[in-house]
């Protein structure tokens, strides 16, 4: 039996736009040529700073792969990390490498030639709309993609002047669009008839900036994008654009890498036929026929995935798990949320040398932990038939690398936003359990054996912490800062001097955890920190009114009044 041929793809993240098409194109061609793909990525979107997610790249063993694709241009938001990885690959990898983007270290690079698409867009606004003064916006001067060259070709073909004033660079994000819109609004540059943008993202932000300054699109200025990204088909103002054929270019990248590996030249790959996609940003509207049925099917699939995720109550179940015994069935019964998968595994890094598999395919390990080298992706004996395309993602929380997830697909596909959310929530649950286990271990190690005595019901301060939630963020706070826990509808609230925070546990669970420490149930809906009680006043119907620090008052029911007074007197 021939060993499996493997390709390693290193990129920053999946963004559900043209990058997906690149990866799918690489996967399609790789699978056709008998390769399996291993994609290492960080599930980040707009975050500038990483939080240990980059440790996922430490799992890459270059000797295990036949060739490497480094998606350098995907690290535009993390340029220093991209440069560091490129140097690391150059120093440690002896296999063929192709860089998607620019490179000073590797001779084999790939940049798609987009000049034809940009030229078609520029021809359109000149011939169909009679534009004579045009600007090209975005990107970098002398960029390898050559988008500006297509713009120049069209102007020269139509006998229109083109100087450096027509070429306005400034990057690939919102800043360049904002700057040009401001210059136009304040008459610092001649008002153009049309602006051809480097891509749809630049076009989208440029249009927003124009509208802010009271400049209408397309009545005052026609705008086009490029790439046919998701932003171009928005419901506010559809953008005239042209497909970048990223999937086709991905197949070309893999074909060239195969030639570097084997010396065999693949037969020519035929490019797909593309047409300009007209939108409201040039005034034509959406004249290109759309596959409505396909769009509806994709929309319905995504909608159902969202419904499944919301109805699964995954966040509540994960964050309420007290230990791995409770966590295992939650994973087992919720893994259906990650659709289309052929393989799924979650691994926790025990230390620098050892990792532990807690789930693989449809099985969990409770009694006998499955340990393996932390340099491996998974225990190989658990995966008899390797999926053709594997995505390896980091599990991180609170600036700690907890472990990694492996999602395998039997066909060309990329993971979606549901996978990102599932893994991030699972990382939080694992972190909470690990912190709890470390606390128990520490207490066991520091407690000397003594003779059996009656349970100690005294109140004592400790350094224990607890996670609370506010504005979709989890915060770790000292337990002693909590004034009280109370229920609010179906939610459990932690009350502190700084405000009210949600807790992912029930009041009964909190009572079980902290009743022998400083907390006591004083009513059906309230659990009070006794160390925060500063006064007790008799109230009507033999109830008590307790005042806590911060002038917070709590009613103590008759049922709990005697125990409350006894416990408070111990302080």
Question: Could you read off the pLDDT of 343-382 as tens digits, one per residue?
Answer: 899 999 988 889 989 888 767 765 567 888 888 898 876 6
Strand partners, 475: 468
Q: Which residues of 358-396 are buried (b: 16+ CB within 10 A; e: fewer)?
A: bbbeeebbeeeebebebeebbbeeebeebbbbbbbbbbb
Convert the pLDDT of each residue in 5-59 to its tens digit.
Answer: 999 999 988 876 677 889 999 999 999 999 999 999 998 766 667 889 999 999 9
- Asked if residue 420 has pLDDT above 70, the reply is yes
* Residue whose C-alpha is closest to residue 404's, from 366, 382, 373: 373
**CATH top-level class of 5-112+247-262:** alpha beta
* Domains 5-112+247-262 and 115-244+275-294 in one fold: yes
Q: Output the six-digit token pair for 130.
A: 């009679």
Strand partners, 495: 484, 500
In degrees, rounded to 5, the angle at the alpha carbon of residue 213 between the alpha carbons of residues 209 and 215 is 90
Please state the φ and ψ torsions of residue 252, each to the nearest 5 degrees. -65, -40
**Once rounded to an integer, what is the mean pLDDT over residues 196-212?**
90
Tell me the C-alpha distance between 417 and 306, whole Å: 10
Tell me, what's the pLDDT at 295? 59
Q: Output the six-digit token pair for 54.
A: 């980059």
Q: What is the 8-class DSSP label of residue 455?
A: -
Residues 6+ apart with CB under 8 A from 381: none
CB of 487 within 8 A of CB of 515? no
CB of 241 within 8 A of CB of 211? no
DSSP string, 91-105: HH--S-EEEES--SS
**CATH number given to 312-439:** 3.30.450.40
**Binning pLDDT at 50, 70 and 90, where does residue 457 land?**
very low
Q: What is the 8-class DSSP label of residue 238?
A: P
**Once rounded to an integer, what is the mean pLDDT over residues 437-441?**
67
Domain boundaries, the chain: 5-112+247-262, 115-244+275-294, 312-439, 465-570
Tell me, what's the pLDDT at 289? 46
**CATH number given to 115-244+275-294:** 3.40.50.2300
* Residue whose C-alpha is closest to residue 316's, from 503, 62, 543: 503
* Residue corresponding to tokens 């079980």: 512
* Residue corresponding to tokens 């309230």: 526
Neighbours of 150 (CB within 10 A): 24
Pick the CATH number of 465-570 from 3.90.950.10, 2.40.50.1020, 3.30.70.360, 3.40.50.300: 2.40.50.1020
Tell me, what's the pLDDT at 449? 46
Convert the pLDDT of each residue in 247-277 to its tens digit.
Answer: 999 999 999 999 999 998 877 888 888 888 8
Convert the pLDDT of each residue in 130-179 to its tens digit.
Answer: 999 999 998 777 665 578 889 999 999 999 988 889 998 876 666 788 88
CB of 467 within 8 A of CB of 473? no
Tell me, what's the pLDDT at 31? 95
Tell me the C-alpha distance between 414 and 361, whole Å: 18
Neighbours of 349 (CB within 10 A): 17
Tell me the C-alpha distance between 127 and 122, whole Å: 9
Q: Count of residues for the chain?
A: 571
Tell me the C-alpha distance between 62 and 445, whole Å: 42
């Amino acid at each position: 039996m021939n060993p499996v041929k493997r390709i390693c793809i290193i990129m920053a993240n999946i963004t559900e736009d043209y990058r997906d098409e690149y990866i799918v194109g690489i996967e399609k061609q790789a699978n056709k040529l008998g390769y399996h793909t291993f994609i290492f990525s960080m599930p980040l979107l707009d975050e500038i700073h990483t939080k240990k997610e980059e440790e996922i790249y430490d799992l890459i063993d270059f000797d295990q792969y036949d060739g490497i694709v480094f998606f350098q241009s995907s690290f535009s938001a993390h340029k220093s990390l991209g440069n560091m990885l490129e140097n690391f690959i150059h120093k440690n990898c002896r296999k063929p490498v192709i860089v998607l983007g620019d490179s000073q270290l590797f001779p084999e690079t790939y940049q798609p030639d987009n000049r034809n698409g940009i030229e078609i867009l520029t021809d359109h606004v000149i011939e169909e709309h009679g534009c004579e003064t045009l600007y090209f916006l975005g990107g970098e001067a002398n960029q390898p993609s050559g988008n500006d060259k297509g713009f120049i070709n069209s102007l020269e073909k139509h006998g229109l002047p083109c100087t450096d004033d027509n070429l306005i660079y400034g990057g690939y994000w919102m800043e360049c669009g904002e700057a040009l819109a401001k210059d136009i609004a304040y008459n610092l540059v001649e008002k153009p008839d049309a602006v051809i943008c480097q891509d749809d993202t630049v076009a989208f932000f440029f249009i927003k900036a124009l509208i802010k300054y009271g400049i209408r699109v397309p009545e005052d200025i026609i705008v086009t994008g490029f790439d046919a990204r998701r932003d171009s088909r928005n419901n506010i103002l559809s953008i005239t654009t042209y497909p970048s054929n990223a999937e086709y270019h991905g197949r070309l990248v893999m074909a060239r890498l195969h030639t570097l590996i084997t010396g065999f030249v693949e037969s020519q790959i035929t490019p797909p036929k593309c047409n300009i996609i007209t939108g409201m940003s040039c005034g034509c509207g959406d004249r290109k026929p759309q596959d409505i049925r396909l769009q509806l099917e994709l929309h319905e699939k995504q909608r159902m995935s969202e419904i499944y995720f919301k109805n699964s109550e995954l966040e509540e179940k994960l964050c309420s798990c007290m230990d791995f015994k409770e966590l295992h069935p939650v994973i087992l019964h919720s893994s259906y949320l990650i659709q289309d998968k052929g393989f799924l595994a979650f691994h926790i890094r025990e230390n620098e040398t050892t990792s532990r598999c807690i789930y693989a395919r449809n099985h969990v390990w409770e009694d006998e932990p499955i340990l393996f080298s932390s340099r491996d992706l998974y225990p190989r004996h658990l995966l008899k038939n390797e999926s053709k395309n594997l995505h390896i993602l980091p599990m991180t929380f609170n600036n700690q690398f907890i472990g990694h997830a492996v999602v395998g697909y039997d066909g060309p596909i990329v993971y979606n936003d549901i996978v990102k959310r599932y893994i991030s929530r699972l990382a939080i649950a694992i972190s909470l359990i690990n912190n709890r286990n470390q606390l128990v271990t520490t207490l066991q190690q520091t407690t000397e054996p003594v003779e059996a005595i009656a349970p100690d019901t005294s109140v004592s301060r400790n350094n224990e912490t607890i996670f609370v939630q506010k504005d979709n963020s989890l915060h770790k706070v000292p337990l002693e800062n909590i004034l009280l826990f109370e229920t609010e509808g179906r939610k459990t609230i932690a009350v502190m001097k700084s405000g009210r925070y949600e807790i992912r546990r029930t009041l009964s669970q909190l009572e079980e955890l902290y009743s022998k420490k400083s907390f006591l149930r004083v009513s059906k809906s309230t659990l009070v920190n006794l160390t925060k009680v500063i006064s007790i006043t008799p109230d009507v119907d033999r109830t008590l009114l307790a005042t806590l620090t911060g002038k917070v008052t709590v009613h103590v029911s008759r049922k709990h009044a005697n125990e409350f007074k006894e416990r408070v007197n111990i302080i």
